């Protein structure tokens, strides 16, 4: 999440009651979680396993629960519970503000765009020109829809990320990590009926221009989808993955988190993707491998009874 204007790190330290060390005169330009940090960001870390990754990331300001070494020019904000400090900042800079109107007064809708009945459009939503928004669509706060976009009935854009902070010493082990990111849908995208697209935890979920998505597709938080992709029904993509341009995912393909599918890759129906895949190739299976290799494998699997009979026959002789 970008702040509207830079915020002095000293103000943030006072606000979350943190001990400040390092660059005490710095200015924070945004808040992000570790997968999405940029220069000027503030980020939190509460486990020693991730201290080094977080401190040496692009973030300049680190909310942490223990003093440790850090590079020159950065700053540590030491607090007892970094996660709670993160939540306090998110709720301050992007608080939940209910809108009880079908279309919020702060929403902006472009020329020649059609909004059909029972559609809900939240606070600070922007919708471009020549769009068609079918009935019962929900577009939640701060989401951005480009020009010439079609959204079929029942689709939800901007629902919260499925993202929780786990601590075994709490009565409730999983505590919700507030989502302050957005969904950005670029020009000429089409979304089918009953799709769900989660907003970023602190960054943006982006659907690239010209991408076409079938019914009942789920796209997780902070996922980046390139231009001119094609997703068939019941595809599911977990959080913070990158799908490059011209990728085709046929029906019921499942994609795991924080991986990349390269430009021009094609995944055949019901494939499962647990790790990154090169572009320009066809894949099939779970775990997905190159389709031609998987087809050979299936041929050999069909021959197992025949081969087994031959083995048993040799033993009888």
User: Distance (Å, rounded) from C-alpha 219 to C-alpha 114?
Assistant: 25
Q: Dig out the tokens for 157 from the structure.
A: 């854009």
Pairing assessment for the beta strands 126-127 and 144-145 based on DSSP bridges: parallel
Q: Does the annotation mark 221 as catalytic?
A: yes
| Helix axes of 304-316 and 291-302: crossing angle, nearest 10 degrees | 40
User: CA–CA separation, 270 vs 273, rounded Å?
Assistant: 10
Helix then strand then coil, in percent of the chain rounded to 5, is 15, 30, 50
Q: Could you tell me where the DSSP H helices lie in the chain?
A: 9-15, 51-55, 82-93, 291-302, 304-316
Measured CA angle at 80 (ends 79, 81), to 5 deg: 95
The alpha carbon of 49 is separated from its chain's Cα centroid by a whole number of angstroms, namely: 23
Q: Tokens in use for 308?
A: 């087994």
Nearest CA-CA partner of 19 in 62, 48, 72: 62
Residues 69, 54 contacting (CB under 8 angstroms): no
Give me the count of residues in the chain.
317
Phi/psi region, residue 85 (left: phi>0; alpha: psi -120 to 50; beta: rest), is alpha
- Nearest to 277, CA basis, from 250, 314, 242: 242
Catalytic residues: 221
């Amino acid at each position: 999440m970008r702040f509207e204007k830079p915020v002095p790190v000293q103000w943030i330290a006072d606000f979350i009651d943190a001990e400040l060390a390092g660059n005490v005169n710095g200015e924070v330009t945004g808040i992000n979680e570790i997968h999405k940090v940029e220069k000027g960001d503030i980020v939190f870390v509460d486990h020693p396993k991730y201290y080094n990754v977080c401190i040496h990331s692009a973030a300049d300001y680190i909310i942490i629960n223990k003093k440790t070494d850090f590079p020159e020019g950065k700053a540590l904000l030491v607090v007892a519970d970094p996660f709670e400090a993160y939540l306090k900042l998110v709720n301050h800079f992007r608080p939940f503000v209910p809108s009880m109107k079908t279309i919020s007064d702060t929403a902006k809708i472009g020329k020649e765009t059609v909004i059909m009945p029972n559609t809900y459009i939240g606070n600070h939503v922007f919708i471009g020109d020549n769009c068609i928004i079918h009935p019962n669509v929900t577009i939640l706060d701060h989401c951005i829809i480009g020009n010439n976009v079609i959204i079929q009935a029942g689709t939800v854009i901007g629902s919260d990320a499925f993202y929780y902070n786990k601590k075994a010493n709490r009565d409730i082990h999983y505590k919700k990590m507030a989502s302050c990111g957005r969904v950005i849908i670029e020009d000429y995208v089409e979304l089918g009926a009953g799709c769900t697209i989660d907003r970023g935890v602190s960054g943006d979920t982006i659907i690239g221009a010209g991408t076409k998505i079938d019914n009942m597709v789920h796209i997780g938080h902070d996922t980046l989808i390139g231009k001119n992709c094609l997703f068939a029904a019941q595809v599911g993509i977990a959080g913070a993955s990158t799908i490059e341009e011209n990728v085709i995912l046929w029906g019921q393909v499942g994609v795991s988190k924080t991986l990349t599918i390269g430009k021009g890759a094609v995944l055949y129906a019901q494939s499962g993707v647990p790790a990154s895949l090169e572009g320009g190739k066809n894949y099939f299976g779970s775990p997905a491998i190159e389709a031609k290799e998987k087809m050979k494998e299936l041929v050999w699997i069909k021959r197992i009874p025949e081969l087994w009979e031959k083995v048993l026959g040799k033993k009888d002789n």
